[in-house]
Every structure is written in structure tokens, then in C-alpha cells.
Amino acid sequence: MLNEVIFYSLEKTIKRYRQFAQAHITHAGIDITIDQWLVLNVIREAPELGQVEIGERVFKDQASVARIIELLVKKKLIVREPSASDRRKLDMQLTEAGRELMNVVTPIVQNYRRLALAGLNETDVDQLKSILDIIFTNCLSTPHKHETIHKPKPAGQPDAAGG
């Protein structure tokens, strides 16, 4: 029954894809995670962005971005220095190692993305995107009262089904 649910297919596919992607990076002897690469890529393209804005581009929250940036600094792929214009910020910049790593990883990423889409034409991908966008939009709404079958317990005894 669970297997029939489309959301299981979604989870299954995205998890497999992540493993596939990471395997290609690791197989090439490169010591970086996909997530780190994503953030590094944004920093390269738009070094002026703050952590919140970086997060918006890679669908991560600010806290996750902060920790990934820390790792990028530890790995000497970027350097940070206090921003002159806003002392809360730290200006970031790819090191030579960071730029070289981008040069190595980018074609690998293009390659495994191509492999993952083998057998699909542009129409397929277009349809996939359309359907995903609909689901995404549906999931923007917040839960309403009338959608709730069981109310939160009113601090009294739990109802018949309550747990």
C-alpha cells in the first residue's frame, strides 16, 4: 500500500539520486559533499550574498549554511574577512584551491546529471517540472482548522483516539 504512494517514489528517487551524485564525486577522488559543493558554487557566483540568501538558493536554512561555510573554511576552499561595509558580515572568496575544485567538479556534475536523465526527452523533463511545481505550490499553504480531523487535546483527558 505504501509503495503505491507517489511520495514514496519521490523520496526514493531523490535519495538514490543523491547517492548517485555523491558516488560520482567521491569516485573521482574528490573530498567534498554535494551540499558543500552547492554552497561553494553559490559563493563563487555571488560572493556578496549573506547566509540567508545563499540558503534560499540551495534550499537550506541559515544555520545549515553557516555550518557548511565553516567546513569550507576549514577545508581552505574559501577565505573570510570582516566586511568593510557591514561589520556583521564576513566577505567570502574562493581560494585558489576552491577555484580549482570547482573546475574539476563542475564537469562531473554535468555528467552525472546527464546520466540521471538518460532516456528522457525534453518534454518528459518539462512535464516533470510542471507537476513538481504544482505539488510545490500546493505545499505552500498552512494547515487549517477544518483540515484537522483531531484537535489538540484541550489540556483535559485525551479523546478516544488521542495519544
Min dist. Cβ of residue 122 to DNA (A): 28
CB 32 within 8 A of CB 105: yes
Min dist. Cβ of residue 130 to DNA (A): 23
Min dist. Cβ of residue 147 to a second copy (A): 6
70 binds DNA (CB under 7 A): yes
Sole window of 47-55, 64-72, 81-89, 113-121 interacting with a second copy (rule: CB under 8 A): 113-121
Question: Which grid coordinates are listed for 152?
Answer: 489538540
Q: In this chain, which of 42, 51, 94, 112 binds DNA, going by CB under 7 A?
A: 51
Min dist. Cβ of residue 126 to DNA (A): 26
Question: Which grid coordinates are listed for 42?
Answer: 553559490
134 binds a second copy (CB under 8 A): yes
127 binds, among a second copy, DNA, none (CB under 5 to 8 A by kind): a second copy
126 binds a second copy (CB under 8 A): yes
CA nearest neighbour of 112 among 20, 36, 30, 10: 20
Question: Which grid coordinates are listed for 26?
Answer: 567521491
- 19-48: contacts with a second copy (CB under 8 A): 19-20, 23-24, 27-31, 41-42
Give the contacts of 26 (CB within 8 A, at least 6 positions apart).
Answer: none
What gap in Å lies between CA 7 and CA 82, rounded to an integer? Answer: 44
Helices (H), 46-121: 51-58, 62-74, 96-116
